[in-house]
């Protein structure tokens, strides 16, 4: 059975642990903890104050000193040994999982998965939103399924921006400064044992990339980093900020991701059987792999064919305007080192990157990826129809529809998770549940009181969290003490609570609810049936229209008519998302159809028993059954956007006034809304499996990975590879401006060690 690669690393920073607690080190350096609450609880018990501040196991181990108290605590030691035993069993045993049972001998190497961002934990802020969270959930699920898998990305030391909202509602941007030595990251070692660095040639110089390992259960995630002393000061920031605004710097990032990512795998002797591009940011990986083959003597066109056979691509954006494009002359200049007598034909590459409009002055990363991959998928069934219509003129094969999912164990709140467990639902073994007892089909066995009590607990946790955030937010604005004291009475857990949280691109229409403010105020302030709304989300620093939406919502939340019923929580991240999708009653989503490729926040809400009220777009177009939530409008769209917005707003008000609010407040003598809980049960029943990443990844395996592996043929016929890394960058050695040999991986001291969304235009849909 093929397994995920084991990555050599340098020793971690000095952390002194008693021998009996040495297992904490392995737990701390594995992101397995992010979807196993018992591990997080264990670290929280070590130092509750430090945990509440950092939520980072590495920081806990570095700062804690009083180990003797824990060693003498029988309850802690028993829990520690149980958690460690479960972790070691998980890491050692890949047998019995769905992939092993059905396709265990089908792959003779790992899947290599490239993505520009990964959302694994808020502690490691190298993600902006849905694309990164999906990539993180994909990696976690590959680990759970014991799929041979290695992920590649970038380590952004300044991450994505932290959001604050000033007293006038303006979004402000601050960038963190991540110290990798205080994060669950280890420096990757070369095969000779030194710190691995791989080269990426840019015009006139070579940029060296350090490689960090984030271990995600069984799956290694390699993160490339240019902020090292061997690089010139102007090159060190290349990987500094996720989705940097400057176009040239952005393409340099994508050169590092695509070219450097391939070279890192080669230097480690990793030979992927299939290469997966998650969005077009990593398209230069295809160019580098073509260059490798040309350097071996393969003709350029044959090399393109070989690369195409074992590459697959996921597209996340419905319309071409939202995809990553670059000026062709910029590509000619920055990618020039990949050309030459033993390199690629750059003009042919540019030709393959022409968009559907045929503009020779632009290089469209999505168009290039579609032309140079074996198969491609959209992220919902509706998105597949839209994508095929958009990209049809350049397609050789239709774009498949593989609907996104969520890693259910990462997103279900503890009270609901415990309730599932009490009724036979093991969220850590969803693929086993499919062939055994499907607990979601037995959800009627959970009583109304049990379900309502669990939801009420999650709702109370949201109230306390939101109050704390709002208190800090308004205190920073200089609000008076009496105003701050009033916050402790806001967000009544008994009131119907609507949540809206996502990237604030204008097409998502976050302000649709305010179309008729007077009507909304009547709905919110009904004394017998109160309603409250919680917003959260960021707009990209370059997206001025999206930032104006945030300002509008902030102003509405402070207006006399809506203050106390409308709230906006700043600095949306994975932690804020968890509280919201677990604790609200209704999840609202109202983009302009069909501009939402998929969306996954509504899936996360649904598995927590939160009811969706959404436009029939993205995943909800196929997820809505008529009994598991509400649909805003129909499937027809009006080309007059203003008229469509007005119609959707009226329908939203009608649904809330006549259906959602009455049903929520219809209570029996026991105070429980049984009719509402019927919708809750149906929401859970129809989403736990169908919109899980377990189902999603099974479809990727069957529809994309295995066909690409079969079409590429036996390993010995693929490019005549002589040994691990034989296609690596060491096959091409050209002099750089420093006199060194470019194209060779090296250790930290310079010795050779082997041969080894972008967000699109503001307001235009990109990844979601």
Mean pLDDT of 69-78: 96
Q: Which residues pair with 153 in a beta bridge?
A: 223
- Residues 272, 709: Cα–Cα separation, whole Å: 10
Which range, of 67-81, 425-439, 586-600, averages the lowest pLDDT?
425-439
Summarize the confidence of residues 576-590 as an average pLDDT.
98
Mean pLDDT, range 407-428, rounded to an integer: 91
Name the band, by pLDDT with cuts 50, 70 and 90, for residue 748.
very low
Report the percentage of the chain scoring pLDDT > 70: 91
Give dist(CA 386, CA 115) in Å, integer.
23
pLDDT at 110 over 70: yes
pLDDT at 739 over 50: no
pLDDT at 704 over 50: yes
Q: How far apart are CA 53 and CA 183, in angstroms?
A: 14
Q: Assign 532 to helix, strand or coil.
A: strand
Which ranges of 104-201 does DSSP label H, i.e. alpha helix?
A: 130-144
Q: Work out the average pLDDT over 531-535.
A: 98
The per-residue pLDDT for 442 is 85
Distance, in Å, from the CA atom of 416 to the CA atom of 534, rounded to the nearest integer, reads 21
Output 13 or 118, whichever has higher pLDDT. 118
Separation of first and last alpha carbons in the chain: 35
- Those residues whose C-beta lies under 8 Å from the C-beta of residue 454, and which sit 6 or more positions away, are 415, 416, 418, 419, 609
- Asked whether 499 and 534 are in contact (CB, 8 A), the reply is yes
All structural domains of the chain, each given as residue ranges with its CATH number in brackets, are 411-690 (3.40.50.2000)
Residue 34 to residues 5, 364, 603: CA-CA distances in angstroms?
A: 21, 36, 19
Judged against a pLDDT cut of 60, whether residue 723 lies above it is answered with: no
Q: Mean pLDDT across the stretch 541-568?
A: 96
pLDDT band at 314 (very low <50, low <70, confident <90, very high): very high
Flag whether pLDDT at 67 surpasses 90: yes
Residue 764 predicted with pLDDT over 50: no
* pLDDT at residue 761 is higher than 50: no
Q: Per-residue DSSP letters for 389-414?
A: HHHGGG-SSPPEE----B-HHHHS-H
Rg (CA), the chain: 26
| Nearest in space to 152 (alpha carbons), one of 52, 222, 236, 78 | 222
Average pLDDT of the residues of the chain: 91
Going by pLDDT thresholds of 50, 70 and 90, the confidence category of residue 101 is confident
Check if the beta carbon of residue 323 is closer than 8 Å to that of residue 368: no
pLDDT above 80 (res 742): no
> Given this model, what pLDDT does residue 734 score?
33
Q: Which residue has the higher pLDDT, 480 or 439?
A: 480
């Amino acid at each position: 059975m093929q397994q995920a690669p084991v990555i050599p690393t340098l020793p971690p920073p000095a952390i002194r642990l008693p021998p009996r607690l040495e297992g904490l080190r392995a737990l701390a350096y594995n992101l397995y903890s992010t979807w196993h609450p018992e591990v997080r609880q264990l670290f929280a018990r070590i130092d509750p104050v430090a945990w509440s501040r950092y939520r980072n196991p590495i920081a806990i181990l570095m700062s804690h000193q009083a180990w003797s108290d824990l060693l003498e605590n029988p309850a802690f030691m028993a829990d520690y040994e149980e958690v460690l035993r479960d972790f070691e069993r998980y890491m050692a045993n890949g047998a019995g999982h769905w992939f092993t049972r059905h396709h265990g001998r089908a792959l003779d190497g790992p899947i290599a998965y490239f993505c520009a961002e990964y959302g694994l934990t808020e502690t490691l802020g190298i993600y902006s939103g849905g694309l990164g969270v999906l990539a993180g959930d994909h990696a976690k699920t590959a680990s759970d399924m014991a799929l041979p898998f290695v992920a590649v990305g970038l380590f952004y030391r300044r991450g994505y921006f932290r959001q604050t909202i000033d007293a006038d509602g303006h979004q402000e941007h601050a960038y963190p400064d991540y110290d990798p030595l205080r994060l669950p990251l280890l420096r990757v070692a070369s095969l000779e044992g030194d710190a691995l660095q791989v080269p990426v040639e840019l015009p006139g110089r070579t940029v060296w990339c350090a490689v960090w390992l984030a271990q995600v259960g069984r799956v290694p995630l390699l993160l490339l980093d240019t902020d090292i002393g061997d690089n010139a000061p102007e090159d060190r920031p290349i990987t500094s900020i996720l989705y940097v605004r400057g176009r040239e710097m952005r393409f340099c990032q994508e050169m590092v991701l695509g070219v450097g990512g391939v070279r890192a795998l080669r230097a480690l002797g990793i030979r992927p059987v299939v290469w997966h591009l998650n969005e077009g940011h990593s398209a230069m990986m295809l160019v580098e792999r073509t260059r490798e083959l040309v350097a071996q003597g393969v003709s350029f066109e044959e090399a393109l064919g070989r690369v195409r056979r074992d590459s697959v691509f996921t597209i996340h954006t419905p319309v071409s305007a939202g995809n990553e494009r670059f000026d062709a002359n910029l590509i000619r200049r920055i990618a020039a080192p990949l050309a030459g007598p033993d390199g690629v034909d750059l003009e042919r590459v540019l030709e393959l990157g022409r968009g559907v409009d045929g503009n020779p002055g632009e290089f469209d990363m999505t168009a290039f990826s579609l032309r140079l991959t074996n198969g491609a998928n959209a992220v919902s069934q509706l998105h597949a129809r839209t994508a095929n219509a958009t990209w049809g003129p350049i397609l050789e094969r239709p774009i498949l529809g593989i609907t996104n999912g969520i890693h259910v164990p990462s997103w279900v709140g503890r009270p609901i998770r415990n309730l599932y467990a009490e009724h036979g639902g093991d969220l850590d073994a969803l693929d086993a549940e499919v062939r055994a007892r499907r607990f979601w089909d037995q959800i009627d066995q959970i009583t109304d009181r049990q379900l309502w009590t669990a939801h009420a607990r999650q709702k109370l946790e949201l109230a306390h969290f939101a109050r704390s955030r709002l208190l800090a937010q308004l205190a920073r604005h200089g609000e008076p003490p009496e105003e701050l004291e009033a916050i402790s009475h806001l967000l009544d857990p008994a009131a119907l609570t609507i949540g809206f949280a996502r990237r604030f691109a204008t097409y998502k229409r976050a302000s649709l609810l305010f179309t008729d403010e007077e009507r909304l105020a009547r709905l919110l302030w009904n004394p017998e049936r109160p309603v409250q709304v919680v917003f959260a989300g960021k707009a990209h620093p370059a997206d001025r229209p999206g930032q104006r939406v945030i300002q509008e919502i902030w102003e509405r939340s402070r207006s006399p008519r809506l203050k106390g019923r409308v709230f906006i929580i700043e600095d949306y991240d994975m932690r804020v998302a968890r509280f919201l999708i677990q604790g609200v009653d209704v999840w609202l989503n109202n983009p302009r159809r069909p501009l939402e490729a998929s969306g996954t926040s509504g899936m996360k809400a649904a598995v927590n028993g939160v009811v969706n009220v959404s436009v029939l777009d993205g995943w909800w177009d196929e997820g809505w059954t008529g009994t598991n939530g509400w649909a805003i409008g129909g499937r027809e769209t009006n080309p007059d956007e203003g008229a469509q917005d007005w119609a959707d707003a009226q329908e939203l008000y009608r649904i809330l006034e006549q259906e959602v609010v009455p049903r929520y407040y219809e209570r029996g003598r026991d105070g429980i809304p049984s009719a509402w809980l019927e919708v809750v049960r149906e929401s859970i029943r129809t989403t736990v499996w169908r919109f899980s990443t377990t189902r999603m990844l099974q479809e990727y395996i069957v529809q994309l990975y295995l066909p690409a592996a079969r079409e590429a043929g036996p390993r010995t016929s693929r490019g005549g590879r002589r040994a691990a890394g034989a296609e690596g960058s060491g096959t091409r050695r050209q002099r750089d401006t420093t006199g060194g040999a470019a194209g060779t991986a090296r250790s930290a001291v310079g010795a050779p060690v082997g041969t080894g969304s972008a967000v699109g235009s503001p307001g235009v849909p990109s990844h979601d």
